[in-house]
Amino acid sequence: MKTINVVAGVVRNGSKFLCVQRGSHKYPYISEKWEFPGGKLEVGETPEAALIRELKEELELNAFNLNYLLTVDHSYPDFRIIMETFVCESTSIEFQLSEHQMGLWLGVDEMVGLDWAAADVPIVNALQNV
């Protein structure tokens, strides 16, 4: 099974966090699911640098104050994902979607009702315990 190393950003604005919804995907188990923004690490890239790059590319957000939260190791039916997750801040609450169909700033209690990608569920659970 292919293993993919990725990063995710729990972008914080006060008591709200940026949650994004994927578009349609060839794998139905991640199609239109909610997730925290991020993406794949490039060769030689640190997780922090990858997250800063991905947030800029996907959402036009500038991230700072990155603090490690947790690492998720999750196996989907077709691939395994190892996702390093960081809580961070952004210079703006404004964002532009290029990879996702929707983005919302939500409090932890509001996140619970969303249909999350399985790999992101441990992040939501960790935020509930903070």
Could you tell me the pLDDT band of residue 118, with boundaries at 50, 70 and 90? very high
- Per-residue pLDDT, averaged over 102-112, amounts to 95
Using a 10 angstrom Cβ sphere, with 0-12 exposed, 13-18 middle and 19 or more buried, the burial of residue 76 is: middle
**Domains in the chain, CATH or no CATH each:** 2-128 (3.90.79.10)
First to last CA, the chain: 33
User: DSSP label at 42?
Assistant: P
Percent of the chain residues topping a pLDDT of 70: 99
Could you tell me the pLDDT band of residue 129, with boundaries at 50, 70 and 90? confident
Helix (H) or strand (E) holding 51: helix 47-59
- Per-residue pLDDT, averaged over 107-127, amounts to 96
Summarised one tens digit per residue, pLDDT across range 7-52 is 999 999 999 999 999 999 899 999 999 999 999 999 999 999 999 9
Dihedral over alpha carbons 36, 125, 50, 68 (to 10 degrees): 140
The Cα 108–Cα 15 span in angstroms is: 8
The pLDDT value recorded for residue 91 is: 83
- Per-residue pLDDT, averaged over 114-129, amounts to 96
The pLDDT value recorded for residue 15 is: 92
